[in-house]
Amino acid sequence: MRIGIFYETTFPEFKGGVERWFSQLANGISEQNFDVQYFNTGGRINTENNVKYISLESKTDSFQKTGTRNSQNAISFAISVFKGLKNHQLDIVYLSAFPFFHIWTSKLAQIIFRKNFKIYVEWFELPTLKFWIKEFGLLKGVVGSITQRLSVRLADVNVCYLDSTANQLEGTKTNKQIILKLPGICMEETKSPPVASRKARNNICQIGRLTPDKQPLLGLAAIKLLRKNGWTGQFKLIGSGPLEEEIVNYVNENDMSDYVSLYVDGNDDLREEILNDSAVLLHPSKREGFGLAIVEAAAFGVPSILIRNVNNKSTELGINPTLIAESSSPQEIATLLEKVLSDQDKYMEECRLWNILQRPKFLAKDSIDQLAIHFHNTQRQRKI
């Protein structure tokens, strides 16, 4: 069975989210005797771990390394997917949900070229109409929300991980569609040391793309307030994206350079080093799917501060339930930071228990195994 995974990632993959998961997915599925082809726009053309990497475009800036995505490169990617599907024979086409355009061109390719492949689309979350309007204005927001709703109906199989997303998909699907709810994308190993063996920490970190929906500037505003209240640690921000210059300016204009460090596109080793030296991960994202950054932080015994929002699915994982802000108030977030710093053992213990009791319910390996079974069943049905 030939499985094509389509994603516009650059290489090496960004340190989080879908890119990280798709890399696990490609390798895991290939280990189960499937012919896996990873179609990308990062210029990667080779075979590694039995996964064949195919670049859809000769240029490598379709999806900027900084994390910037605009309508032009989203459309360019969708067209590239259409051309790729014309020229390759596949049984399964596996897509991320965003941006939507490539879902439409995949469906067009299925119809126009009379291809017999099945379209799978992953939905980590479905932002609400209110979110669309707030982020993009009334006209663009309504158009975006409608496009999202219609895009859901184009797949043969919609894939998700959390109950709330599954319920949203159920309310939108056609009669012929399948909704496949998988366990999650957590790595198996846990690195969290025993509480008694760890000294108190004073540093704070934030990991994620430097984009408006991740709200790095809100994190800085909360850190500024915390400093005024006497905190003496260091704030380490790891990420890359279109807000990089604005963040640097904010730090300089507010005289924060003595205690704020920005690491652009940091690698895995740096991320691990910073997590191991942090008391808490600040993660004030407006919109989040599974929240890979917070489950990785929990593996190191590092609690996370989140913002409660219908579009933030990370809050459903229940790692540190009392560290969820009810608003985007810098003061509320600063208060939660003080709460963690003053009682680190309590929140590290929450992480340790979550790793033992809850993490096994959300494993990437189980998701890959279930997908493999589903693919094998699809293959058998075609032979009948």
Q: What is the pLDDT of residues 237-292, one digit of tens each?
A: 998 888 999 999 999 999 999 999 999 877 888 888 999 999 999 999 988 888 88
Output the CA torsion 109→112→118→121 (10° steps).
Answer: 40
State the pLDDT confidence band at 92, using cuts at 50, 70 and 90. very high
Shared domain check, 297 and 180: no
pLDDT at 63: 54
pLDDT at 306: 97
CA separation for the pair 221, 223 (Å, rounded):
5
Q: How many helices (H) and strands (E) does the chain have?
A: 13, 14
Shared domain check, 275 and 339: yes
**pLDDT tens per residue, range 36-90:** 999 988 788 999 999 999 998 766 555 555 555 667 778 888 999 999 999 999 9
Number of domains in the chain: 2
Where in the sequence is the domain holding 329, given as residue range(s)?
A: 195-361
> The domain spanning residue 270 has which CATH number?
3.40.50.2000
Summarize the confidence of residues 114-143 as an average pLDDT: 92
Summarize the confidence of residues 281-309 as an average pLDDT: 92
pTM for this entry: 0.88
Residue-averaged pLDDT of the chain: 89
Shared domain check, 356 and 207: yes
Shared domain check, 348 and 203: yes
pLDDT at 267: 81
Q: Tokens 């704070």 identify what position?
A: 204
Residue 190 lies in a domain: no
Residue 42, CA atoms < 13 Å, CB-side half-sphere: 19
Is a pLDDT exceeding 80 seen at residue 104? Answer: yes
Is a pLDDT exceeding 60 seen at residue 27? Answer: yes
Shared domain check, 213 and 80: no
CA distances from 301 to 120, 315, 356 (A): 35, 17, 12
State the pLDDT confidence band at 16, using cuts at 50, 70 and 90. low
Shared domain check, 202 and 301: yes
DSSP states of 215-240: -HHHHHHHHHHHHHTT----EEEEE-
Shared domain check, 369 and 352: no
Residue 99 lies in a domain: yes
CA separation for the pair 43, 62 (Å, rounded):
10
Shared domain check, 270 and 347: yes
Tell me what percent of the chain is helix, strand and coil, each rounded to the nearest 5.
45, 15, 35
CA quadruple 322, 327, 331, 337: dihedral sign: positive
Which amino acid is located at 380 in the chain?
R
State the pLDDT confidence band at 172, using cuts at 50, 70 and 90. confident
pLDDT at 85: 96
Question: Structure tokens of 17?
Answer: 């989210």
**pLDDT tens per residue, range 108-117:** 999 999 999 9
Inter-residue long-range contacts of 157-161, CB under 8 Å, 24+ positions, other chains counted: 157/118, 157/119, 157/120, 157/121, 157/374, 158/120, 158/121, 158/123, 159/120, 159/121, 159/122, 159/123, 159/371, 160/122, 160/123, 160/124, 161/124, 161/185, 161/289, 161/290, 161/362, 161/367
CA separation for the pair 165, 148 (Å, rounded):
13
Shared domain check, 21 and 149: yes
